[in-house]
Structure 1
Amino acid sequence: MAIGLNVEEPEEACSDENCPFHGSLAVRGQTIEGTVASTDMDKTVVVEREYDVRVPKYDRYMKRRSRIPAHAPPCMDLEEGDTVRIAETRPLSKTKAHVVVETLGGEE
């Protein structure tokens, strides 16, 4: 089933209703790449991404990071340190509005 992004479907099947591949969850909006920082919650991972912000006063760059909670379908085998791509979707809970759609690599 195509989800509208150029990503490969996982080999493993799941019965999660909120899986973009095997359920009925539609993805739309932004796609973001980041590193899995936490897998402590059930069906949720925290994806962290670092970016640089220019500080004009000192004419230098400062590192910032944002942490985004994302739904992790059971068919995606995720561990801390994995690089993943997440896509925006409808709100799934109070804090979750993204879902993991692709694993890009292991630990860096």
Structure 2
Amino acid sequence: MALGLNVQEPDEACADDNCPFHGTLSVRGQTIEGEVASTDMEKTVVVEREYDVKVPKYDRLMKRRSRVPAHAPDCLDLAVGDTVTIAECRPLSKTKSHVVVAIEEGDD
């Protein structure tokens, strides 16, 4: 199935209806790259990304981070520390509006 993204479909199949590859979930909007910070919830991971914000008063950069909950399909084997790409989708719960679409290679 073509997602409209330049990602590889996982080899393993799953029966998850909210999987963008094997289910009916469509992705649209922004894509974010970040690191998996937590896998404690069922079918959900927390993806964290750090970015710099300029502070004009001190003429320096300040580190900020954002944490985005994302749906983890059964066909992707995710662990804490993996670098992943998440894509926006319809709201899946009160806080989840993103789904993991790819695990980046070469960060091990």
TM-score bucket of the superposed structures, by smaller chain: over 0.9
TM-score under structure 1 length normalisation: 0.97
Name the count of aligned residue pairs. 108
Most deviating of 83-92 and 97-106: 97-106
CA drift of 1:75 comes to 0.2
Amino acid at match of 1:23: G
Q: How big is the shift at 1:107?
A: 5.4
CA contact (8 A) 1:85 1:100 kept: yes
Q: Any unmatched runs of 5+ in structure 1?
A: none
Tell me what 1:26 maps to. 26
Structure 2: state its 5+ residue gaps.
none
Question: Aligned residue for 1:87?
Answer: 87
What letter matches 1:74 in structure 2? Answer: D
**What's the offset of the Cα at 1:106?**
6.5
**Once the two structures are aligned, what percentage of the paired residues are identical?**
77
Pairwise CA RMSD of aligned residues? 1.0
Distance in 2 (CA, whole Å) between partners of 1:75 and 1:106 is: 20
Q: Structure 2 CA distance, aligned partners of 1:54 and 1:105?
A: 31
Moved over 3 A (4+): 105-108
Alignment of 1:62-81 (within 5 A): 62-81=62-81
